[in-house]
Structure 1
Amino acid sequence: MTDDGLPAELRAENAIRVGQPPRNRVEAARKIVWILPWLIFLGSPVKDLTSGHHSTAATAAGWVALASFTGLYLTLVFRNMGRPFSGPTVGALVALLGSLAVVLSLTLGNQWIGLFVYVSVTCGATLPQRVAYWAVGANTLAMVLVGLRVGEDDWSLVLVVLLLGFAMMGVKQLVRTTIELRKARATVAQLAANEERLRLARDLHDLLGHSLSLITLKSELAGRMLPDHPDKAAAQVADIEQVSRQALVDVRAAVSGYRRTRLPDELAGAQVALKAAGVTAEVPGEPDLTGVPEESESALAWALREAVTNVVRHSGATRCTVEVLHRQTLDGAVLELAVEDNGSGGSGKGPGNGLTGLTERLAKAGGTLEAGRIKHGFRLVARVPADTRSAVGSGA
């Protein structure tokens, strides 16, 4: 366990990125595995070709056509997950796929009518939304007409073709929304960083502008007084020293405020990190920190960061609950953080460096740490003084 930032990206890197091309062979294999189960509707054509009902030439042509149809379908759907073809190319390939379905069904029989399912899925997944509406409907109508021609008697597949086409349109819209949300979140993060930099610049200007102007003025005044009035010049220099010391104190206070770890920020980060790691999380909203000393809040924020890091990296947990409570004890009011998960709690070889350092950090703030295994997982409880009087009374 370490005191570094919450590793929200550690598990996210291993997840399937929705609407994005695969970055390696593992991701490509995962996407293919997601597609392959839908090939179940090819069972009837395969059974037809192996039944011996057709001549050798027709069987060979059927296998070639089926392989071409399947390859074309997989290419269209797989490429659409990341780097899709251009619009005209997609339109031409979808038309070719539909033509193959019609020709194969008319020439080889009604057992090939299931190919229209793949045409419908491809229309919904690859074509623009407005075009897809008409394409799915036209494909369903073509299936009905071909089915009447080849003597199809089971029309339950018509509903499957229609619904799957529209379902894929919904999935495509969901993917598009996910991508837009991802971009929006990145934009918001960038804007927040820019705003923080601007706020820091404004604060430093407000803190140093007056002080530096005063130092410059008194320096010029001391320079003019030095030849004839050294005593008055010395007084000006003493004022300059006092102003510069105060300016240094103000700058340090401002910078420490920016560096301070805040509990609400860590709670939001914990939610993101646990979700990215595939852990079901129960994290409270922003707690009431009125009157809580900054040192206590910072120590508790570090405790939360350390606990969530352990859950994500070492515990193998699938569920984690975070609670922040105000309690009244014999030593005074305390703010309590409890993090409980259903994992293993790590290696089990005693407290790691992270827990040891965290105990020391909490002790400096007048707090305590309890961590250990429970019946169905691991629980960490950190307590810090909730007001200045409690902090003083605890010896912090």
Structure 2
Amino acid sequence: MGEDSGQPDELLVTSGNFPAPRLGRLVLLAALLCYFSITLLNILSSHASVAEVTAAILCLVAIFGLQLLHSRPGAQLRSVRLKTLTLLAQALLTYLPLLVFRTQWGSMAGFLAGSLLLLLPPRQAWLMYGVVGGSMLVPPLLSDLGVVETFYYVQSTLLTGLVVYGLTRLADLIRVLHETRGELTRVAVTRERLRFARDLHDLLGYSLSAITLKGELIHRLLPLHPARAKSEVEDVLTMSRQSLADVRSVASGYRDMSLREEISSAQSVLSAADVRVDAQVRVGQLEQELDTVLATVLREAVTNVLRHSRATYCEIAAERSAGQMRLTIVNDGVTAGYRDTSPHSGSGLGNLQTRLGAVEGALTVDQDAQTFRLVARVPEQRGSHGASAVSAVDRAEDGRSAA
């Protein structure tokens, strides 16, 4: 799930059984409270005066607050001046009580060591971390403790620093991971929307244009040629059923098409629009993906002929040549300044470039004063096909999303 909805189960895990950011912060807070309580118990069990105990508790609370500040997300991005002031304050609050409580001050120096690792550049941070650890040799020596106790005190300080640093970074990492997963989910949704829009345009643009054209033809034929009008109505019903199947195919992700079937359909539709069609197909058997891509190119090209030209002639040629498949659609009727005035007239050529790029193909468009030529080329042998297809589509969709 993308956002924190405050549900109890989301406190523990997110999708994929990754810990939620709130859990990471709670683990860090629990660890800090454990160190805080141990030191508090040491102070309360000491033989110091009430004033000294009170001052120590106030220092302890202040250190705890500063540590929470230093462990907050983005603390290392604050100004150098602010970080310096807070680290100096934590250092004073750490070392002054050592004069009275010595080893009973517990691992508060470990908090300082962890804060240094969190806020300073790596080289300075690790150097100062070592200095803080080394400084903890003094309290055991002043208390006449043995080597083992001295080593334990130094090691405990260094370990506390690593725990504070590690748990803070882990909590930050969990938060970044959670945000990244949410962003990847949004990107996936955006890509799927683009895929759906592209497929819907490619599949239905042609069908709806053809149905509109057939409807206009039926309107003209009804008074004089009712029998032919009835035949055209049957064609419209067939196209409507196909459009419904296309919508279902887009929704389910299955979009297999046949170039030969599309050429046959294009001949029927263009003929109904009084466009003379010359179709030549010399391709043999095509693999399904390539067949679908070329059929999509043809469908979009025919849609453009119907919507963006005043064509009287259209040539369709599909052939194998020099190790590649080539589909050529040429039509006349280019009218200067003519464009489809309907809203959302489409982005068909951009969609076709995306599809052809996914199979390592290329689209060429050429136009002069009278003719419009569209040529799609796809190599029969395509290396690293899967990775190329994915990367091509992703690049195209990312660019379109950014636009």
**TM-score calculated relative to the size of structure 1:** 0.50
Match of 1:132 in 2: 125
Counterpart check, 1:78 vs 2:68: yes
Counterpart check, 1:198 vs 2:191: no
Match of 2:11 in 1: 14
Match of 1:64 in 2: 54
Match of 2:42 in 1: 44
Superposition deviation, residue 97 in structure 1: 2.4
In structure 2, how many angstroms separate the alpha carbons of the residues matched to 1:111 and 1:180?
38
- Among 113, 120, 124, the alignment partner of 2:113 is 120
In structure 2, how many angstroms separate the alpha carbons of the residues matched to 1:189 and 1:141?
48
Matches within 5 A, 1:162-181: 162-181=158-177
Counterpart of 2:160, as a letter, is L
Decide whether the 8 Å contact of 1:76 with 1:90 is kept in 2. no
Counterpart of 2:62, as a letter, is L
Secondary structure of the corresponding residue to residue 96 of structure 2: helix
Decide whether the 8 Å contact of 1:97 with 1:119 is kept in 2. yes
For the structure 1 residues 150 and 16, does the alpha-carbon distance in structure 2 shift closer, same or farther, using more than 3 Å as the test?
farther
Decide whether the 8 Å contact of 1:80 with 1:126 is kept in 2. yes
Provide the aligned length of Structure 1 versus Structure 2. Answer: 239
Superposition deviation, residue 45 in structure 1: 3.2
Decide whether the 8 Å contact of 1:215 with 1:244 is kept in 2. yes
Superimposed CA distance per residue, residues 317-339 of structure 1 (whole angstroms, 9 cap, x where no aligned partner): xxxxxxxxxxxxxxxxxxxxxxx
In structure 1, how many angstroms separate the alpha carbons of the residues matched to 2:65 and 2:248?
60
- Among 135, 157, 161, the alignment partner of 1:142 is 135
Counterpart check, 1:102 vs 2:86: no
Match of 2:221 in 1: 225
Higher relative contact order (CA 8 A, sep 6+): 1
In structure 2, how many angstroms separate the alpha carbons of the residues matched to 1:175 and 1:245?
55
Counterpart of 2:52, as a letter, is G
Percent identity, aligned pairs only, is 28
In structure 2, how many angstroms separate the alpha carbons of the residues matched to 1:253 and 1:187?
28
For the structure 1 residues 95 and 182, does the alpha-carbon distance in structure 2 shift closer, same or farther, using more than 3 Å as the test?
same
Superposition deviation, residue 181 in structure 1: 1.6
Superimposed CA distance per residue, residues 155-182 of structure 1 (whole angstroms, 9 cap, x where no aligned partner): 1211111232234333333223222221
Q: Identify unmatched segments of 5+ residues in structure 2.
A: 255-403
In structure 1, how many angstroms separate the alpha carbons of the residues matched to 2:227 and 2:54?
105
In structure 2, how many angstroms separate the alpha carbons of the residues matched to 1:113 and 1:238?
90
Secondary structure of the corresponding residue to residue 13 of structure 1: helix
Counterpart check, 1:92 vs 2:85: yes
For the structure 1 residues 208 and 101, does the alpha-carbon distance in structure 2 shift closer, same or farther, using more than 3 Å as the test?
closer
For the structure 1 residues 255 and 100, does the alpha-carbon distance in structure 2 shift closer, same or farther, using more than 3 Å as the test?
closer
Superposition deviation, residue 185 in structure 1: 1.0
Match of 1:158 in 2: 154
Bigger mean CA deviation after superposition, 226-235 or 151-160: 226-235
Decide whether the 8 Å contact of 1:222 with 1:236 is kept in 2. yes
Decide whether the 8 Å contact of 1:44 with 1:112 is kept in 2. yes
In structure 2, how many angstroms separate the alpha carbons of the residues matched to 1:173 and 1:243?
60
Decide whether the 8 Å contact of 1:41 with 1:114 is kept in 2. yes
* CA root-mean-square deviation: 3.7
**TM-score calculated relative to the size of structure 2:** 0.49
Q: Identify unmatched segments of 5+ residues in structure 1.
A: 1-7, 259-396
Superimposed CA distance per residue, residues 327-354 of structure 1 (whole angstroms, 9 cap, x where no aligned partner): xxxxxxxxxxxxxxxxxxxxxxxxxxxx
